[in-house]
Amino acid sequence: MKEKLLILVKTSSNQYKQQKMTESKQKTVYVVTRNSRRTEFRNYETKAEAEVRAEKLVNVLKKWKDPDQRKVRVVETLTPLRIR
């Protein structure tokens, strides 16, 4: 039996509406962040793919001597759009 969850979604007029969400729709994805902010819109299905992208980003930041190179992380999440 699938559990149903209700979530509130903000509309453009600062009002909220309820939206049904089942567990089967929730899928774990991985997001590359820099200083707790998304670096790109893409979500990765495996942690390995996200780590490869994070490593490439760190290499570019090292080349530019950016101090944020130590703040690149791979975040596992069910709600990727909530990571700003």
Domain boundaries, the chain: 26-82
What is the mean pLDDT of the segment spanning 58-66? Answer: 96
H or E element that contains 54: helix 47-63
- Please choose, from the candidates 27, 72, 26, the residue with its C-alpha nearest in 3D space to the C-alpha of residue 45: 27
Q: Does residue 59 have a pLDDT over 90?
A: yes
- Decide which of 23 and 34 is more confident: 34
What is the mean pLDDT of the segment spanning 56-60? Answer: 97
CB-based contact 79:34 (threshold 8 Å): no
**4: which strand partners?**
22
What is the mean pLDDT of the segment spanning 35-52? Answer: 95
Q: Does residue 14 have a pLDDT over 60?
A: no
The reported pLDDT for the residue numbered 21 is: 52
